Amino acid sequence: MDLSHDACVRWLRETDAERLKPLYREADAVRAREVGDDVHLRGLVELSNHCARLCGYCGLRADRDSLTRYRMSTEEVLDCVRNAAAFGYGTVVLQAGEDYGLTQAWVTDLIRQIKSETDLAVTLSLGERPDDDLRVWKEASADRYLLRFETSNRALYDRIHPPLGETQSDRLAILRHLRTLGYEVGSGVMIGIPGQSFDDLADDLALFRELDLDMIGVGPFILHPETPAAAFPPLGDGEQVPATEEMAYKMIALARLLCPKANIPSTTAIATLNKATGRELGLQRGANVVMPNLTPPKYRALYQIYPAKACLDETAEECRSCMRGRIHSIGRHVGRGRGDSPNRQRPDRPA
Ligand code: SAH
């Protein structure tokens, strides 16, 4: 299949369900051939909703005084981790706002405790932390790091993601550094950010491939009304990418074709737009991972990146059985073990 920039733009602009079928069919076939029928479960723990940043799109941004902030204790996190192990998950994902109250030492100690008690892979998603934190956490046996570059359009990125103090935000540099440290590296984008064009999305796809990502997470942009994004102007003349579930499926399918061995989740943002079948449709159009939520219900509603998130009022146990049911309903299997990235294990992968 032609996967040039222009061909990607044509697919991304296609809205006819019949004409999209071959794209989805091919993505599903490549998914089956390259990463198999297993769907890996990554248990998500939302450690803290404190954040130092002022991202224009995110409900955790530092200046939202109306949001009650929380930071989980080590014991609370370990309870979630024990749940993950008991549920048979292979990975825990520790995610938070960019919270420097989660100190290097605290996170290091947490990783060590998880590794001493369980065989789980540990994925970190803690924002743009200093190189030294990333190095020390890798030495403490963290396995993977997720940091979306959000958009490859530098001007748009700068508009929605202001720097912290004097330091220019350079997520691409951090992603390359993570790779040299030996992490499995995950990134991704939001789809339908006001000001984002179809060409931008095709550039995002090319960058996924150039970065040789092990994990790729994409989801529709969902407006949080109490963020500056509410006032961001959309592009005119049919150039603005709509923030729809269909756009997200097209991005998943194209990401699968361009990066055949990457682990690709069917994300919560997609499930938020289509609670009935969004997860399944993502899995049938190229995705092979889901991230059931393990965050204690009392904190979940406070991890308000965007409103009305899927799985908001479920317990960890309910989230688990819901995900398993969805996976089985489409004839797939729940993956066993850690579900390490087949991309990382590619024989021809450059060092
Ligand atoms: N502080 C960490 C984790 C952020 S939450 C970090 O910045 O990496 C993880 C992802 O949620 C973000 O990378 C972003 O892509 C997504 N996100 C944030 N706000 C969103 C919104 N309004 N709609 C959709 N996705 C959003």
Nearest-angstrom CA–CA distance, 252 and 233 = 26
Q: What burial class does residue 77 get, using C-beta atoms within 10 Å of its C-beta: 0-12 exposed, 13-18 middle, 19+ buried?
A: buried
Angstrom distance (rounded) from CA 255 to CA 264: 8
| Mean local confidence (pLDDT), 282-309 | 95
Q: What is the mean pLDDT of residues 85-109?
A: 97
Mean pLDDT of 98-110: 98
Helix (H), strand (E) at residue 317: helix 316-329
Share of the chain above pLDDT 70, in %: 100
d(CA 92, CA 71): 17
Name the closest-CA residue to atom 11, ligand 1: 305
pLDDT at 41 over 80: yes
Q: How far is the CA of 267 from the centre of ligand 1 (A)?
A: 11
Centre of ligand 1 to C-alpha 47, Å, is: 14
> How confident is the model at residue 287, as a pLDDT?
98
| pLDDT tens-digit map of 141-156 | 999 999 999 999 999 9
Q: Which residue has the tokens 């990418």?
A: 241
Residues at CB less than 6 angstroms from ligand 1 = 57-58, 95, 97-98, 125, 127, 147-148, 150, 190, 219, 221-222, 224, 269, 305-306
Residue 3 has a CB neighbour count (10 Å cut-off) of 14
Model confidence pLDDT, tens digit, residues 194-222: 999 999 999 999 999 999 999 999 999 99
pLDDT per residue as tens digits for the range 157-191 = 999 999 998 888 999 999 999 999 999 999 999 99
255-266 pLDDT tens trace: 999 999 999 999
Note the pLDDT of residue 308. Answer: 85
Q: CA 196 → CA 6, 43, 150, 235, distances in Å?
A: 16, 31, 11, 7
Distance 18 CA to ligand 1 centre (A): 32
Q: How far apart are CA 28 and CA 271, in angstroms?
A: 19
Task: Using pLDDT thresholds of 50, 70 and 90, give the confidence band for residue 311.
Answer: confident
Range 61-82 average pLDDT: 97
Cβ neighbourhood burial of 231 (10 Å; 0-12, 13-18, 19+):
exposed
Say how far apart CA 187 and CA 240 lie, in whole Å.
22
DSSP secondary structure code for residue 98 in this structure: S
Confidence of residue 334 (pLDDT cuts 50, 70, 90): very high
Res 112 pLDDT > 90 = yes
